[in-house]
Amino acid sequence: MSIPANLKYTKDHEWVSLEGDVATVGITHFAQKELGDIVYVEVETLDQTLEKDEVFGTVEAVKTVSDLFLPLTGEIIEFNSGLEDAPELVNSDPYGEGWMIKVKVSDVAEIDSLLSAEAYKELIGA
């Protein structure tokens, strides 16, 4: 199972890549595998500022719908519009083309509260 070492992770199975004060967020390989075939990604919080751990959207799979939790406080500045026509990208490329949102982070120090790849591997028993 792929768990890139250069990313940070949450206990809710989101991953974060931070460049300056902009974070790219998606769900992990583990999460997409547990959900199954993803058929829809909904993010209605574009241009809103949310607190860490608030729900920023949902991901719908054939067998369930799951909330998506914001890993860092900030303004949601971009949604991956490619997921509108091809939500399956979350399954096929969760760390690449399957990213979900970009966030202008309010406090980059919050990244220190997220899990390292090693800690995430331990969490999921990988």
pLDDT in tens, 84-126: 999 999 999 999 999 999 999 999 999 999 999 999 999 999 8
| pLDDT value, residue 46 | 96
Q: What is the DSSP string of 75-91?
A: EEEEE-THHHH-TTHHH
Indicate whether 1 pLDDT > 80.
no
Contact 15, 27 (CB under 8 A): yes
Beta bridge partners of 15: 9, 26
What span, in angstroms and rounded, lies between the C-alpha atoms of 91 and 29?
A: 7
pLDDT digits (tens, 9 = 90+) for 7-26: 999 999 999 999 999 999 99
pLDDT of residue 87: 97
E strands in the chain: 8-9, 14-19, 22-27, 38-42, 49-50, 55-61, 65-69, 74-79, 101-105
Q: What is the rounded CA–CA span in Å between residue 88 and residue 124? A: 23
Give the per-residue pLDDT at 2.
Answer: 84
Place of tokens 């970009």: 102
Q: What is the mean pLDDT of the chain?
A: 96
Task: Give the global pTM.
Answer: 0.96
What is the three-class DSSP state of 121?
A: helix
The pLDDT value recorded for residue 66 is 96
Q: Over 80: is that where the pLDDT of 49 sits? A: yes
